[in-house]
Each structure stands twice: as structure tokens, then as C-alpha cells.
A and B are shown apart, each in its own frame.
Chain A
Amino acid sequence: MKGPWVFLLLLPTLAFLVVFTYLPLAVAAKEGIPALPQLLSPENLNALRVTALYTLLTAPLSVALGLLAAVAVEGHGRLRLLARLLIFHPVILPTVGFAAVFLYLLNPLGPLRNVLQAAGFPNPLGEPLSAFLSVVLVGVLKDAGFYMLYYLAGLQSIPKELIEAARVDGAGRIVTFLRVSLPLLSPTTFFVGVMAVLGALRNVDHIFVLTKGGPLGATDHLLYRIYILGFEYFDFSQAAALSLVLFTALTLLALTALPRLERGVYYDA
């Protein structure tokens, strides 16, 4: 717990970070500068808007789903194990595999045709708004499995005695959860919350399969756009510039929001 040798523990991590993260960051900074004036193009602004909306929807929903799932599947038993596996399976499947199922299910001429028509979304992936919502849905379902996992680990770390003590004092299941478990889970929630926001900003593989950024740019997530700029337009400059903007925005967000959020986290049992 004393100064220098604790820092030594961090050395390997920091060393690799410098080489494989900070160095590329510097390269991106250098490459991106000439493209800064292009940053406010209508396409980029659209991408920013799409990304903000996507994150605002996907992050909280996937966290909530992950928490509920963890609570629902905690405990022993083969059926619970099966449930856990089922909820986690989108994480295990290659993204093409998981997203492809939705291509099949959401096909306007596919097996769910009548259901989709009745719901007022005859061609979910073929119209801008419903395509956006579909992409959110797939994103939430895919990521919730991760967060369920973290919450399960967090739930396991709660001393059983505290739960029992609360019950002995007459508290019901829900009250126990809200008053005892949830606060004790706050370190995990902090982690999951941050991961979910970052996840919504980074996990866009399903967009490649489902909508390719369309229709009409409705699912043109910033990260997807950055990939296209770099790897299909070969406009490395603009890709680097956008990456830099994203990085700066996140850093600022982290520096302002994280300390405040963490103050609300309950660390000592």
C-alpha cells in the first residue's frame, strides 16, 4: 500500500498502453489536423446526432436489462444456468451470426411478416426510424449479456450475512434489494454504467450487417463513419480527425462526470 512499489505494478500496463494506444493517438493527432475544417460537414453532424441518440437509448437500456437479468438468473439450478447461457449467447456468437438472425426475422417477406405488419413496421430495416430502433434493439440485446455477467459477479461479492440480516429484520425481497444490494452494488454499477456508455459508442459491428449506415443515414453511427472514412474512402485524415474529436469529448466527459459519479459510489462495506 506504500508509494513506489504500488506504482511498479502499473508499469507493464502503462508501458503497453504507451506503445499501442498513446502512440497511435499521437499519429492520429498529426494526421487529423489538416482535416479539422471538414468536421462540421452535414454528414459528420448527422453522425454525431445519431451517435448521441443511440447512446442515450442503448446505454441505460442495456444496463437495466443486464441488472434485471442478473437478478433473475442468480442462484443455483440447471434451468437458471440455461437462462444465463441464453442471455449471454449474443456475446458468444460472431456478430455476423447474431445480426444475421435479425436480417432473417426482420425481413418484410420473412417469417414474422404478419407480426411486423400488425405492429406497423412492415419493413423495419428498410425505413429510417424503424431501422434505427432495430439497431438499438440488437445493440441492447447483445451488450446486456456482458452487463449481466458483471452484475452477477457483483452480486456474488455482497456478503450473504447482510442480506440475511435485513431479512431477519423483516424487510421484503424488493426492499432488501433496493436498500441493501443496490447500494452495495454501486461500484459495479459505476463500472457497468461507464462500460455501457463506452459500449454504445464503440460496438457498431451489427450496423455493418444490418443497415450499413442507412437508410438515409439513420444509422450512420460516428464509429461506423470513422471506419468507412478510413477503410473505404481512404480519407485517413478525416477519420483521424473524427477519432480525435471523439477521444477529446470522452476525455472531457470523463474528467468532469466520473469524479462526481464516483463520489456517489459506496465502497466500504
Chain B
Amino acid sequence: MTLSSERPKPLLRRIGRVSWRGARQLPALLFALPYAFIVGYSLVAAITPTADLHRGEIGRFTLENFALAWSSADFPRLYLNTLIFTLGLLLVQVFTVTMAGFALAHLKGQGKDALFYLILFQLFLPASALILPNYILVERMGLADTLTALALPYVASATGAFLLRQGFLQVPKELVEAAYVDGATPWQVLWRVLLPLVRPQLAAFALVSLVYHWNEFLWPLVIIQSPEKRVLSLGFASFARSAESGMEWGLIAAGALLVALPMVVVFLLFQRSFMEAFARSGLKG
């Protein structure tokens, strides 16, 4: 009797534990429900045959929308160009943004607020006001129609400088002072102590920068001429328009998903950096 009643128990306990863990995550899912609803529509539109969709019927599955979207633009090249542009820019930005954020956080003296606002100015000027003058400038520099030109106005990122400044300011002073007491040079303090502590902010910024530039449309529209240099947003726009005809939901949804898919991967990769618990050994000691 004892044998037969003991065997099912560990399994039940495991199921119990898993479902408890799942249940604790329920608030998160509830919160995301409206979003799930919206995504649901896009997904359904993408995998439903267009004819059915425009008749209001769903239920049949097809990949024809994806096939049509894929064949409507040179996606492999679009992915490549967009990757080169966004990753290249991000690489440079990591440096400028960290340096600027650190400087802003540790600047002393009269000028520090002025410099902070001076950098924030970038966000006060509407993008459309910047496009034409920057285009003319880039044209004069001989850089029109290059991926480099796409990146230039963003090398200095006010958002990033601001975010990293806040990150550096959140670091407890004791930690930094302890490091100096231990004989570290300013350089070592930056590398060994501070940088790891602002990893969440850097990860957040990286994600923000990548996603923003992945989908950026207006500036690439003006700068890019050659078909080989087009980025995803332009490629998507080249078949998702409908000024004259009806909106092709299936095609638009499928195209949007094709464009967004790499960013989903990027998101999944980066979001782990938010969840890392790092040791704050300085406070314990």
C-alpha cells in the first residue's frame, strides 16, 4: 500500500511547483493581455489567406503573405544593410554615450548644468527641422547615399548621454570612494567598478538605439538613393503602401513581422541583461 501511494507524490509536487510558479507570473500576463490582443490581430492577418481576411473570415492558414512580402523586396540585402547601419552606429554610440554620461555625472563646477542642457538640446529640435539641413551638409561632404551618412547625426546621442548620466549618478558614492581608498586609478574605477554597474542602462540604451534605427524611415528615405543601399524601413514601405488601392492587411502584417523578427531576437538577447542580479559586494563590506 505504501509503495503505490508514494510514487505519484513527487510528480504531483513537481506539477504543483510549476503551476505555482506559473500562477505567480499571472499578473504579468494579465497586464500584457491588451498587447497580446493587438499582436494577435497582426499574427492572424499575416497567416490568413488575404482573400479570406478581406471577407472577414479567419481560420485558414497560409504562408502566401510571407511569400509575397519576401518577394516584394530584396530582404537579404535589406537585412544586411540595416544590420551594418544599426550595429555600426551602436558600436560608436556605446563609446560616446558612456564617456558623455560619465562626464556629465562627475563634472564639477559652474558649467556642468549648461553642458547637460546643451546636450539635451538635441531632443528639443524636431527631427523634420534637422533633415533638410543635414541632407544638404551630407551631400556637400560627398557622403550622400551611404550608410555612414545615415549614422552621422546620431553618433552624439542625447538620450544615451542622459540615460548613462542617470545610471552613473545612481551608483552609491561609498562604492566609488571605497575603490579609491583601495588605491584604484580613475581609469580603473571607470572600468572595474562603474561600467559593470551601468550595464542595465547600457543594455537599455543599446536596445532602444537598435530598435529606433531599425525602423527609422524619414532620414533614410531622404539620404538613400541606390537600391543596394536600402534599409528595411524603405523596403517595407515599397510594398506596404496603398494610396490608390485598398490596404493589403495580410501583406502589411507579414511584411511588418519580417521586418520586426530580428528585433525580437535582439530583445530576447538583451533583456537578460536587465535580469542579471549583480553583486553589490561594496555595500556589504
Contact = CB atoms under 8 A, between A and B. Distances in A.
- The answer to A–B direct touch (Cβ < 8 A) is yes
Interface of A: 1-3, 6-7, 9-10, 12-17, 19-25, 27-28, 68-69, 72-73, 75-77, 79-98, 100-101, 103-105, 111, 141, 146, 149-150, 152-154, 156-157, 159-161, 184, 187-188, 190-191, 194-195, 198, 202, 205, 223, 226-227, 230-231, 236, 239-240, 243, 246-247, 250-251, 254-255, 258-259, 267-269
B25 A194 contact: no
Interface stretch (B1-9, B59-67, B132-140): B132-140
B128 A21 contact: no
A194 B170 CA distance: 17
* Interface of B: prevailing SS: helix
Contacts of A2: 186
B99 A12 contact: yes
Contact of A159 (B25, B56, B283): B283
A250 B25 contact: no
Q: Which of B24, B115, B130, B157 has the most CB of A within 10 A?
A: B130
Contact of A157 (B32, B170, B263): B170
Interface in B132-175: 132-134, 137, 152-153, 155-159, 161-163, 166-167, 169-170, 172-174
Given A10-B104, A79-B22, A97-B252, A21 B259 contact: no
* Interface of A: prevailing SS: helix
B181 interface: no
A223 B152 contact: no
B236 A14 contact: no
Interface string B255-283: 11101100110011001001111001001
Contacts of A259: 113
Contacts of B236: 94, 96-97
Given A20-B153, A94-B256, A10 B99 contact: yes
A208 B130 CA distance: 19
Contacts of B267: 85, 88, 92
Given A7-B107, A14-B156, A255-B117, A243 B133 contact: no
B96 A12 contact: yes
B253 interface: yes
Given A93-B256, A96-B236, A111 B128 contact: no
Nearest to B174: A269
B152 A89 contact: no
B91 interface: no
A87 B31 contact: yes
Contact of A83 (B29, B118, B204): B29
A98 B197 CA distance: 34
Interface of B: 21-22, 24-32, 34-36, 38-39, 41-42, 45, 56, 95-97, 99-100, 102-104, 106-109, 113, 115, 117-130, 132-134, 137, 152-153, 155-159, 161-163, 166-167, 169-170, 172-174, 186, 197, 200-201, 203-204, 207-208, 211, 214-215, 217, 232-233, 236-237, 240, 247, 249, 252-253, 255-257, 259-260, 263-264, 267-268, 271, 274-277, 280, 283-284
A86 B123 contact: no
7 contacts: A1-B106, A16-B96, A69-B31, A77-B25, A105-B38, A149-B207, A250-B124
A98 B28 CA distance: 22
Nearest to A21: B122
Contact of A79 (B28, B119, B200, B284): B28
A83 B172 contact: no
Contacts of B174: 269
B129 A17 contact: no
Contacts of A7: 103, 107
A230 B132 contact: yes
Contact of A101 (B38, B237, B271): B38
A140 B32 CA distance: 14
Contacts of A226: 126, 128-129
Contacts of A80: 25, 28
A12 to B, nearest CB: 5
